[in-house]
Amino acid sequence: MTQKTIRLTMAQALAKFMTRQMTVIDGETVPIFGGVFAIFGHGNVAGLGEALYQVRDELPTYRAHNEQGMAHAAVAFAKASFRRRFMAATSSIGPGATNMVTAAALAHVNRIPVLLLPGDVFANRAPDPVLQQVESFGDGTISANDVFRPVSRYFDRITRPEQIISALNRAMQVLTDPAECGPVTLSLCQDVQAEAYDYPEAFFAERVWLQRRPMPDANELEAAVAAIRASHKPVIIAGGGVLYSGAAERLRAFAERHGVPVMETNAGKSSLPHDHPLNMGSVGVTGSSASNLLAEQADLVLAVGSRLQDFTTGSWALFKADDVRLVGLNTQAFDAYKHRAMPLIADAKVGLDLLDGKLGSWRTSDTWQETARAGKAEWLTAAKAVTDPTNEMPSDAQVIGAVARAKGSGVTLVCASGGLPGELHKLWPAGAPGSYHMDYGFSTMGYEIAGGLGVKLAKPHDEVVVMLGDGSYMMMNSEIASSVQLGKKLTIVVLDNRGFGCINRLQMATGGANFNNLLKDTKHEVLPEIDFASHAASMGAWARKVFSVAELESALREAAAVERTTVLVIDTDPLIATEAGGHWWDVAVPEVSVRPSVNAARREYEEGLKGQRL
């Protein structure tokens, strides 16, 4: 029997294949690719550009203004879709490609699927060195795109047109696997994109990719159940895996039935509504006093879908009970085994369901639950005190309070880096699962606005609010224009503390001098007076500078009637951070210094190291 084929260029085959990949969401079969972000140049305009044009009605192509920004938007789309759908991003060779590496690293750290399609050099090497080619004196196979290797879950360079068949099958496996999930980079040699091949028609058959839910090993399950039953002061740490698994409701039922307090990582925040009695809020370095009080006493920590990074664990100094045991419920063994945890390698929803069934009527003591309730009440009082407005220059916390009062917990909040993630982790009143969208795995300055665009593409009917500092705005703001161009309204609040206020505070906390962070402490002849509102307006946004918390709340209500992206700018105090809650964080302080303040900070640091669990 002769296999039926269709003759296409490699790029055409790639584009056609992408249109045939499906998934099922809420009973409806939908394309798994939400579209392709593209900035064309030599290396992708002739090959992949023409191919994407042919399928533009089935697979939308979006024009961005910055390659890093568009890749951030693609990553945010997948995160907001709970990893059930994702996007691709394509660039030219050289700087266009390497601009996407930061986004690849962000996706790698946060376990988010994205398909990156950078153009590459000629496979036939005839015009070497082609424009923008990086040459290695000792290896003729290297190109600039090799920098994607350490930040890709799967990397492949396509040097023959038929290689795309096996490469795409492997790519889809990684993009949809709950354990392996992360960025895939297919480096596309520009001459090969235009080469034709007789592809099997079967390669383009529609395929539906469903969410895999790994079951736990029976022995691991029994061991975890026994450990929980033997505990007296258990807590749950909810990570991003709770949301990606769709396990928020299962988590709520488990916590209520067994009386176990829940604390949330930045990735897991919104797993429970902020006002749920058993939601103790944020945990760790940026944790609430309620969560950290319980974590310090806990004799068992059930970490569900968490990487257990240092901000979550207080650099592994948070858990102070001598007999504390960790149970790592995670699809990825790498995460489940961290710090000698008892592994429970399974899907979060399945794992919680099976634990629930085997625990039966087991429940924590009334005393432990009362400790949790009292701690939360005390924390809510402290949180209200720092978010209420004053007549002074507002703190980040007071701006957060204003946005929360004006917008409520029904919006999706987007942020990424600087001082705001710590304040938002503590103070933002998250509502529905996924309504809090934070990159604090890679903490990428510049992610915020582009990420907001990706969230809006994934959730077009939701109101998306982006909060960021002036430092992040300066690093990347071009996707304001993209949001206006695409008609995807964002509400952006820029907190201007005139520098890198978060790192300035860290510099001070470690005994350092105020140096090179706030604009006034940099080498300068003239201090810049940056008009962020006018800048945003020049890109088509409705923009305004406000001068008080009350004026911000009023402007937010006015902006709600505006149909395009709005940008509101407010000056904030760079030195104020919420003192309530929080925990020690391991930031190495110089062992030798001529500055007494550094020596004092070093003594405090050495004292903190004594609490670390190795």
Q: What is the pLDDT of residues 150-204, one digit of tens each?
A: 999 999 999 999 999 999 999 999 999 999 999 999 999 999 999 999 999 999 9
Six-digit token string for 547: 């001068």
Q: What distance in Å separates the CA atoms of residue 451 and residue 483, rounded to the nearest whole number?
A: 11
CATH value at residue 237: 3.40.50.1220
| pLDDT for the residue 519 | 85
Asked, for residue 604, whether it belongs to a domain, the answer is no
Write down which residue in 344, 359, 378 finishes a domain: 378
Asked, for residue 227, whether it belongs to a domain, the answer is yes
User: CB within 8 A of 39, min separation 6: which ones?
Assistant: 63, 64, 65, 66, 67, 70, 90, 91, 92, 96
Contact 114, 87 (CB under 8 A): yes
Q: Can you say how many angstroms the Cα of residue 382 is from the centroid of all Cα atoms in its chain?
A: 28
Q: What are the angstrom distances between the C-alpha of 332 and each of 87, 103, 111, 306, 344? A: 23, 22, 10, 10, 10
Write the single-letter amino acid at 293. L
Contact 591, 503 (CB under 8 A): no
Instruction: Give the DSSP H or E segment for 244.
Output: helix 240-245
Which residues in the chain land under pLDDT 70? 1, 391
Contact 155, 148 (CB under 8 A): yes
Asked, for residue 281, whether it belongs to a domain, the answer is yes
| pLDDT for the residue 514 | 92
- Tell me: do 405 and 518 sit in the same domain: yes
Six-digit token string for 260: 């176990």
Asked, for residue 581, whether it belongs to a domain, the answer is no
What angle (nearest 5°) sits at the alpha carbon of residue 286, between those of residues 280 and 292? 45
- Tell me: do 285 and 424 sit in the same domain: no
Q: What distance in Å separates the CA atoms of residue 388 and residue 402, rounded to the nearest whole number?
A: 8
- Tell me: do 156 and 22 sit in the same domain: yes
Query: Can you count the helices (H) and strands (E) in the chain?
Result: 24, 23
| pLDDT for the residue 528 | 87
Strand runs labelled E in 159-289: 183-189, 196-200, 207-208, 234-238, 262-264, 279-282
| pLDDT for the residue 2 | 81
| pLDDT for the residue 406 | 96
- Give the count of beta carbons closer than 10 Å to the beta carbon of residue 49: 19
Write down which residue in 167, 189, 208 finishes a domain: 208
| pLDDT for the residue 17 | 98
Q: Can you say how many angstroms the Cα of residue 109 is from the centroid of all Cα atoms in its chain?
A: 8
Query: Does a cis peptide bond (omega within 30 degrees of 0) precede residue 129?
Result: yes
Give the 3-state secondary structure of 595-609: CHHHHHHHHHHHHHH
- Tell me: do 293 and 426 sit in the same domain: no
> Which residue range(s) make up the domain with 222?
218-378
First vs last C-alpha separation in the chain: 63
Strand runs labelled E in 76-153: 86-91, 114-120
CATH value at residue 435: 3.40.50.970
Contact 407, 384 (CB under 8 A): no
Asked, for residue 608, whether it belongs to a domain, the answer is no
- Tell me: do 319 and 435 sit in the same domain: no
| pLDDT for the residue 613 | 86
Residue 457, SS3 per DSSP: helix
Six-digit token string for 67: 């390659």
Write down which residue in 378, 404, 419 finishes a domain: 378
- Tell me: do 536 and 452 sit in the same domain: yes
Asked, for residue 597, whether it belongs to a domain, the answer is no
Give the count of domains, the chain: 3
What angle (nearest 5°) sits at the alpha carbon of residue 598, between those of residues 594 and 601? 150
- Tell me: do 480 and 566 sit in the same domain: yes
DSSP secondary structure letter of residue 339: G
Q: Which of 334, 332, 303, 328 is nearest to 177 (CA)?
A: 332
Contact 113, 86 (CB under 8 A): yes
Residue whose pair of structure tokens reads 């940056």 in the numeric block: 530
| pLDDT for the residue 525 | 86
Asked, for residue 611, whether it belongs to a domain, the answer is no
| pLDDT for the residue 1 | 66
Pairing relation of β-strands 325-330 and 300-304?
Answer: parallel
| pLDDT for the residue 72 | 98
Asked, for residue 607, whether it belongs to a domain, the answer is no
Q: Which of 393, 434, 381, 389 is nearest to 412 (CA)?
A: 434
DSSP secondary structure letter of residue 552: H
- Tell me: do 146 and 226 sit in the same domain: no
Helix, strand, coil share of the chain (percent; to 5): 40, 20, 40
Burial of 253 (0-12, 13-18, 19+ CB in 10 A): middle
- Tell me: do 392 and 360 sit in the same domain: no
